Each structure stands twice: as structure tokens, then as C-alpha cells.
Amino acid sequence: MTSPAATFFVHDQGVQIGPLPMEEIATRWKSGQITRDALYCADGWPSWKPLIASEEMAVFFRPPRYKSFGGKFWKHILWAFLIAGAVTLYGLFGTYRGWPMLSDLPPVGPLLIFAVIYFLPTLMASKSEWVGWIALLNLLFGWTVVVWIACIIAAIVSPKRTQ
């Protein structure tokens, strides 16, 4: 691996440019001036290498991270829990104050507690890169205790997202 201050030559679409530092190559890549088929080389290298497979440039050419379940998703979940909690409190304490009864509604408190426990792996994985997969498995197969425990383990060992 070369030093960060190294410069490279780029051969793309029949044109050779350079020497360029890594940052400039990355800027041109992001703006579309350099294509996927580009080759690169540094002084002293015996041959050209594909830019896309470059270890030196990997930090610049990573695909954008997939944001499964963005911030709005968790805000909606939080609001749902807050509303469910408010309805539960209304049902528990509102009757003592003479407020109308909520007896036609099912008890929300136990349902809320069950939902939090059921989706605990998803909540634990909220900062993980695997949150989408864990949430999907948790939703569809969490009722099997084995998958629920596997989701908990995956949430613990999964790589965390970097901002």
C-alpha cells in the first residue's frame, strides 16, 4: 500500500491524466469525469491496475451506505408507543376521574409491552449496518424463539454505522 501523499496516473477512455493525488481522483470519480473502466498506475509500478479494484482508493469508492429504516421510521415508532401509552394511561386512570370508559378497546398496555419485547432485536440494532435485515427477520420469524435469539446476537455483533 502506498502513502496517502502518493500521486497516480489515470488512464480512462484513451486519455492519460496525472499525476493526481487520491483525493483529486476521488473528486473526479464522484463527478463522473472518471468511469468504472479506468486504470491507474504509480511511478515504479510494472503495470496498470483497475481503479475500481484499488486498495489505495477503496476508501473513496465505497458504495453509499444503504439507509434502511431512516430516522422517520423510528420517530413513527416512538409516536406509536407514546400514543399507545397515553391510551393505556387514559384507560387506567381516566375512569377514576369520571372520564368516558375505554372498555370497548382491548388493553393496550400488555400489547405494548409484548411489542417492545418482540421487537427488542430491531431496537438493539438501530445503529447497526444490518438493521434492515435484522428487522425483516425479526418481523417475519421472530415468533420462533431461535430466530429471535439469533437476531439479538446479530444486533450485538453487527458492525455499527459510522456517520
**6-53 confidence digits (pLDDT tens):** 788 888 888 888 888 888 888 887 788 888 788 888 888 888 888 777
C-alpha torsion sign, points 37, 54, 61, 29:
negative
**133-151 confidence digits (pLDDT tens):** 888 888 888 888 899 899 8
Q: Which residue do the cell numbers 458504495 mark?
A: 63
**74-108 confidence digits (pLDDT tens):** 666 677 777 777 767 766 666 566 555 555 556 66
Residue 52 is classified by DSSP as: G
User: In Å, how far from its chain's centre is CA 28?
Assistant: 26
Report the predicted TM-score, pTM, of the whole model to 2 decimal places. 0.38
- Strand 7-12's sheet: what is its strand order? 15-21, 7-12, 39-41, 49-50
Residue 66 pLDDT level (bands cut at 50, 70, 90): very low
Q: Phi first, then psi: what are they for 149, rounded to 5°? A: -65, -40
